[in-house]
Amino acid sequence: MTIKNKNIKGKIPVLEEFYSIQGEGFNTGKASYFIRTGGCDLACSWCDSKESWDHTAHQYIDINEIIKRINKTSVNTVIVTGGEPLIYNFDEFCNKAKAAGLNTMIETCGAHNFSGKWDWICLSPKKHKPPKNVYFNFANELKVIIFDKEDFNWAEKCAKKVSESCLLYLQPEWSRFDVNAKMIVEYVKTNIKWNISIQTHKFLKIP
């Protein structure tokens, strides 16, 4: 799938935006404002946000208006996710968000050109479209989705490339949660550098 990314000054492509709770990884449980971009060229078979794949299904929203909506909430943290957000350039968005005193976080597969100024980068790499090397240097958190046993090998390959300060997480793919969760528990007990991430928002039915 090839996506022709289009950057429009003063705007970013938004599929949805909402105020909720981070359910995964290091920042689990923290109230945050989420921006989900439209468009993804990965098409992972187990993706739980397939509605984000279609790059024509979003609207370009004024960045200043988004920041106003964030400021009406109780938080100062914005999490950009997708889809794959860095199909687009996020320099302008981050500059305005930082000027407004917001903490900027992103989840990305790392396969596209890096842009933006981020306080927290969660790298969630995919085997069929590996990250560019720069992301391994920048990542605060490495989160690998475990669908089958082969994904543990992929996780270890990626873990060798990140910095020593990067936090390591294995997350069971939701449709195979019962099987994968047991595998991950046993793996982490043997490989203690890893932590377990689960999608707590799904258990708690948080949108």
195: which residues sit within 8 A by CB, 6+ positions away?
Answer: 167, 168, 169, 170, 188
Domain ranges of the chain: 11-203
Q: Quote the pLDDT of residue 1.
A: 45
Q: Quote the pLDDT of residue 48.
A: 57
Structure tokens at 32: 């945050």
Confirm if 180 and 173 have CB atoms less than 8 A apart: yes
Separation of alpha carbons 78 and 74, rounded Å: 12
Of 54, 61, 46, whose CA–CA distance to 124 is shortest?
A: 46
C-alpha distances out from residue 178 to 50, 62, 126, 181, Å: 22, 42, 22, 5
pTM of the model: 0.90
Of 102, 117, 104, 109, whose CA–CA distance to 82 is shortest?
A: 109
- Asked which of 52-66, 73-87, 102-116, 171-185 is least confident by mean pLDDT, the reply is 52-66
**pLDDT-derived band of residue 207, with 50, 70 and 90 as boundaries?**
confident
- Name the β-bridge partners of 14: 59
Tell me the percentage of the chain whose pLDDT exceeds 70: 89
Q: Model confidence over 98-154: pLDDT tens digits?
A: 999 999 999 999 999 999 999 999 999 999 899 999 999 999 999 999 999 999 999
What is the residue-averaged pLDDT of the chain?
91
Q: Model confidence over 172-190: pLDDT tens digits?
A: 998 888 889 999 999 999 9
Q: Model confidence over 88-99: pLDDT tens digits?
A: 999 999 999 999
| 3-state SS, residue 159 | helix
**pLDDT-derived band of residue 39, with 50, 70 and 90 as boundaries?**
confident
Separation of alpha carbons 154 and 149, rounded Å: 10
**HSE-CB of 102 using CA atoms within 13 angstroms:** 32
Separation of alpha carbons 97 and 159, rounded Å: 30
- Asked which of 31-45, 93-107, 165-179, 193-207 is least confident by mean pLDDT, the reply is 31-45
**pLDDT-derived band of residue 54, with 50, 70 and 90 as boundaries?**
low
Q: Quote the pLDDT of residue 58.
A: 74
Homologous superfamily of 11-203 in CATH? Aldolase class I (3.20.20.70)
> Which amino acid belongs to residue 69?
R
Residue 64 host element (H or E):
helix 63-71
Q: Quote the pLDDT of residue 43.
A: 59
